[in-house]
Amino acid sequence: MSDPLSPTLSGPSLPDLIARARATDGSPPFSDGALVELRQGTASLIWLDDAAAIVSADTSAEFVVDPDARRRGLGTRMLEHLTSRAAGDLLFWAHGDHPGARALAASHGLDAARTLLHLEADVPPDESSDLDVSPIRLPEEGDAWLKLNALAFAGHPEQGRMTRADLETTIAEPWFDADDFLVLRHDGAIIGFCWLKVESAAEGEFYVVGVDPRRQGERLGRRLVEAGMARLASRGIHTAHLYVEGDNAPALQLYRGIGFTNRSVDVQYRWVARG
């Protein structure tokens, strides 16, 4: 008889697990980036009974235990399995910064290395924008956008490394709507963008907002957010949310000034390989 807690590459429905965990915890158990890599085949999905992990290039991992199977040691078993097979240091995202995740990290000597703040704000019902933005033209503007995105997020560990394959995988998602991918052009070139992600009639996410670094100081970031708010208002959406690095002071100042407040916190922990 096989060990019911041995890791496998197949298991229950991942979408069902994600939905149950999100409903219980108030935050998604996996990042969009991890799910994109999984769909592209550059990340692995590992099941351990009622727990699932997405492992990216053996350097980072995210995992969740089914809410109905918690407090049985599955989180500990999954963490120990992942660290035992790691070739070097391993990064773990804990979405929502829940007490159980903090306790598990502390018990295994993991140190917090990074925080990602999840912010939210009301969408002004009468929001308007003076910025002349329009939807991106795909596929012809894809490469130009990728170039600007790399410039705008040169120091970001994930966003700045987005590839054409990543873009194509993301725009193939059911939620993608080109009319929610707003770009600002000057002399025909993209100099800023506000990409919205709308999955429900209740709220919309500022998926990513970026400005050409050479145009910093022109308050384009704020005006792009205002344009995004206007787009959400036109769709009858009442709540906006976004993710921002906890140490990104300029972005936090911008979003706080617009009225965004804390919803939750994601914490990235580092496990350091011994020997």
Provide the token pair at 111: 């140190």
Under the banding of pLDDT at 50, 70 and 90, the label for residue 11 is low
- Report the chain's mean pLDDT, rounded to a whole number: 92
Is the pLDDT at 133 greater than 70? The verdict is yes
Q: Which residue has the tokens 């911008």?
A: 254
For 56-119, give the DSSP string: ETTTEEEEEE-GGG-SSSHHHHHHHHHHHT-SS-EEEEETT--HHHHHHHHHTT-EEEEEEEEE
* pLDDT (0 to 100) of residue 256: 97
Angle at 46 (CA atoms; ends 45, 52), nearest 5 degrees: 95
Considering the entire predicted model, what is its pTM? Answer: 0.89
Q: Which domains does the chain have, with CATH numbers?
A: 14-116+267-271 (3.40.630.30), 124-237 (3.40.630.30)
Please report, rounded to a whole number, the percentage of residues in the chain having pLDDT higher than 90. 85
Angle at 12 (CA atoms; ends 9, 18), nearest 5 degrees: 105
Is the pLDDT at 8 greater than 70? The verdict is no
In a 3-state reduction of DSSP, which class is residue 268? strand
Give the sheet arrangement for strand 51-56, strand by strand.
43-48, 51-56, 60-65, 90-94, 261-271, 111-122, 239-245, 203-211, 189-198, 181-186, 133-135
* pLDDT (0 to 100) of residue 167: 96
Under the banding of pLDDT at 50, 70 and 90, the label for residue 4 is very low
Gap between the Cα atoms of 34 and 32, Å rounded: 6
Is the pLDDT at 270 greater than 70? The verdict is yes
Closest to 36 in 3D by CA, of 192, 200, 183, 197: 197
* pLDDT (0 to 100) of residue 10: 54
5 compared with 196, residue with greater pLDDT: 196
131 compared with 81, residue with greater pLDDT: 81
The tens digit of pLDDT for each residue in 225-261 reads 999 999 999 999 999 999 999 999 999 999 999 999 9
Q: State the average pLDDT over residues 214-219.
A: 91
Q: One-letter amino acid identity for 141?
A: E
* pLDDT (0 to 100) of residue 24: 94
